[in-house]
Amino acid sequence: MNASRDEQFMCRALRLAALGRHASPNPMVGCVLAAPDGRVVGEGYHPQAGMPHAEVYALRQAGARARGATAYVSLEPCAHHGRTPPCADALWQAGVARVVAALTDPDPRVAGRGLERLRAGGVDVTVGVGETAARALNAAFLKHRTSGLPWVVLKTAMTLDGKVAAVTGDSRWITSPLSRKAVHRQLRDRCDALLTGVGTVLADDPALTTRLGHRAGRDPLRVIVDSRCRTPLDSQVVRRAAEDGKTLIATTAHADTERREALAAHGCRVLVCESDLPGSDDIGGGGRVDLADLMRRLGTQDDIIGVLVESGGGLAAGLLATGLVDRWLAFVAPKIVCGRDAPGPVGGVGFARMADALPVREWRTRRCGPDLVIDARFG
């Protein structure tokens, strides 16, 4: 057993896993098969749900050379029959001598059973190599499988002085074209649901699609938080619902019944959530959507494990205040707009004391063209 070699091949497996950006709701998994002399004889990754797993691609490439090899996988091989047969059995049957897994799979259908089956078959098993990187790569999958809640990423774009629009409301464009492309390529194309508030729909009439230019992107489920069903029937999100059925209106029982039925008739899915004022009977201005209840419900809808939030300050504040945001990506443009009444990225009432401020667990910065990106994680 060579620790440095294990780390080297696991890094390769993790790089392969990252190629599976459309694997959701499955995890992103990479596999490298290395012969005893250190030669790579097979490798692969899981491209998307319904297609073969990483181990299968690696074994196909290796053929007979898999016998006696070491398999490096970024997640415990599965042990259950789903859309594909158990990968743990496939590795054992191919004669793999050793399996190095970055971490165990918390999915109840696996949860250590894959490693147990390998050990029972005489395969040497090592767990924990590259665990930190593997957890970061599959943060959405791991949270969903352990809590039932989706991983929530808040994305904001603001000026250096913390404004998301000028005092007139004009907000195009704050960040550079390079940053906007990065949002579509690295965030929208990889999330399962894109969440915004009805205020954004009324103000901007966004399409909420993924635009990659040179190739088609994966459009996420469009989720509009709309307590009173004010989303216009001629808005882009409603018109697109008639085409692809991928618009969900999250509302409450206080919303007008005719408005709910009209949105449903236009192809929208209407999800009636709990209200944050459940005792209110005021249909016109009753309670808002309970965001915690919405996230619980999204966790059971259409295999949603990752939610991207692009919203106004009110919704952002509600999500942050209730501890529902796992990651915040703040794009900061090198420009200053000024204005006492110009809005910032987070609204709401706010905390009364600095001691009550939400702590950030870890953060890092990077450049995206002229813009600065602050990547913060909570919890």
Please give the positions annotated as active site. 55
Tell me the C-alpha distance between 299 and 289, whole Å. 16
* Of residues 17, 47, 54, 32, the one with CA closest to residue 133: 17
Tell me the C-alpha distance between 219 and 245, whole Å. 11
SS3 content of the chain, % helix, strand, coil (to 5): 30, 20, 45
Contact 226, 250 (CB under 8 A): yes
Neighbour count for residue 218 (Cβ, 10 Å) = 16
- What are 71's strand-pairing partners? 33, 99
* φ, ψ dihedrals at 319, nearest 5°: -70, -40
> Which secondary structure element, helix H or strand E, spans residue 8, and what is its range?
helix 3-17
Which class for 309: exposed (0-12), middle (13-18), buried (19 or more C-beta within 10 A)? Answer: buried
Tell me the C-alpha distance between 158 and 330, whole Å. 7
* Of residues 210, 257, 259, 214, the one with CA closest to residue 238: 259
Tell me the C-alpha distance between 143 and 138, whole Å. 9
Tell me the C-alpha distance between 273 and 248, whole Å. 12
Q: Per residue, what are the HEC states of 45-91? A: ECCECCCCCHHHHHHHHHHHHHCCCEEEECCCCCCCCCCCCCHHHHH
Tell me the C-alpha distance between 207 and 188, whole Å. 12
